[in-house]
A and B are shown apart, each in its own frame.
Chain A
């Protein structure tokens, strides 16, 4: 008898427990959904607002005429599109080899070198920490650094070159870290396989390790491109703000983000600022889509169908 009573009691208990578990489960599920929705809604609201305001002024003429300058903010945005493109290309050309080289050193060589010498070990550790700290430094700090070093000290002036060098310093931590992570995910067995065939370390890195890490490295580079397109403060103090088309890398210019800032803060043409912002957002969205497609293609090519 007592056994039966006990089992009935424990059954009721476990049933109640189960109910509480279920309620908690539903509650947690609902909360997670809500958080996701709020985040998504905010993003869509911002994008939607900018696009709806901006698209009103966007037409072929706006995209193809030069900004006229002045307080009224007359004209289009054509030169800022081209300047942004120049800026992105020049920055990537400077930052990518440096960043990839640093990542290759840190992943493939630093370990051995650190074991051999305490000084090298210290330097490697310091540079790793440095990269991490730099990744969190606000862009205006890089801007001030670029202004002091490139614009004034090296006398490069407000120019595409000053801006690209500063921009490269800004995105270098991102490229180093994403490349480092990509290199670390390449299985050791690939390296062993190549070395066991008598290939040199250099050959192994260039022909097996880097191609396998390419999707990750490309992601890092495209993220940096996004950063260059979006940053404003750093280029305010290095690129200057000339709305003319730069004729050489020594000329000043105005990127799209800078144009938005200048239109909004110094002219009455708030609608044109919104129009430029809309183009900026569309560019960033397209860029993100292209990362997805590109890295999926690269991965597919590596893994096969």
Chain B
């Protein structure tokens, strides 16, 4: 927790889709072993920013980025994309387990990176499921289809799947927005446990969730041209209680967004 290592440093980031500027002038520092929340109104580029960290944004046609995202001192564009995504896991808005068994879902990543030994895979699957607090619920049904699980279980399975490739960062794109309140709470508790060992960046629409679950908060807004920019960034406690900008206060108190 009291680690001051900078996991990510974002410098002057700009993202353009075709002729639409989605993000501009983003300056951000993501601390290691902490939860950083990205909040802001719909369409302000939260997900775009999140997807620059593992270069999933490259999948979108006609995308151009300038500026730099630096992870552990290295510009992520100089890192092999496979290695980058191995170390930066991602959890999506809707749980997206593969139509395979629970075991095969978790083992998917390690297998993709060449692991064949069943004993080693079994160990990884158990460890990852335990870390995602799903083991006790599925340990007897590992060969059942993952699609038979409930939504909340599926999302924790996706977390286990991401953990199985031993990342050091987890990106979460509104991970609880498709879940019921109890499942949401479980995910939030899990995030608190995960930050002991991982750096977590979470996009959320839910102000309470950001306030409860994060250590740092970045507030994004969009200007007249719908380009997202960073309004305020700081410790969550401070952003939520003594925001520096009027806009931040208006947003977190629900006056717009």
Contact = CB atoms under 8 A, between A and B. Distances in A.
Interface of A: 111-112, 115, 187, 189-190, 192-200, 203, 207-208, 211-212, 301-305
A197 B54 contact: no
Nearest to A189: B96
B54 A196 contact: yes
B112 A198 contact: yes
11 contacts: A189-B92, A192-B56, A193-B92, A194-B98, A194-B108, A199-B108, A211-B100, A212-B98, A302-B100, A303-B145, A305-B148
A200 B158 CA distance: 18
Interface residues of B, number: 34
Contact of A207 (B54, B84, B108, B144): B108
A167 B162 CA distance: 46
Given A198-B109, A302-B100, 5 more contacts: A193-B92, A197-B162, A198-B81, A198-B83, A302-B145
A180 to B, nearest CB: 19
Contacts of B134: none
- Which residue, B83, B84, B90, has most C-beta atoms of chain A within 10 A? B90
B109 A195 contact: no
Contacts of B162: 196-197
B131 to A, nearest CB: 16
Given A192-B92, A192-B96, A194-B98, A199 B56 contact: no
Given A195-B56, A197-B89, A198-B82, A304 B165 contact: no
A228 B13 CA distance: 58
Given A196-B89, A196-B90, A197-B109, A190 B96 contact: yes
B48 to A, nearest CB: 14
A197 B112 contact: yes
Contact of A197 (B97, B100, B146, B161): B161
A110 B85 CA distance: 24
B148 A304 contact: yes
B6 interface: no
Contacts of A199: 82, 108-109, 112
Nearest to A116: B61
A186 to B, nearest CB: 9
B89 A193 contact: no
Given A197-B89, A197-B165, A187 B96 contact: yes
A199 B145 CA distance: 21
B24 interface: no
B113 interface: yes
B21 interface: no
Given A192-B96, A212-B99, A203 B158 contact: no
A304 B144 contact: yes
Nearest to B56: A196
Nearest to A301: B145
A207 B165 CA distance: 17
A197 B88 CA distance: 8
Contacts of A212: 98-99
A235 to B, nearest CB: 39
B4 interface: no
A243 B94 CA distance: 60
B156 interface: no
A47 to B, nearest CB: 37
Contacts of A211: 99-100
A208 B97 CA distance: 10
B59 A192 contact: yes
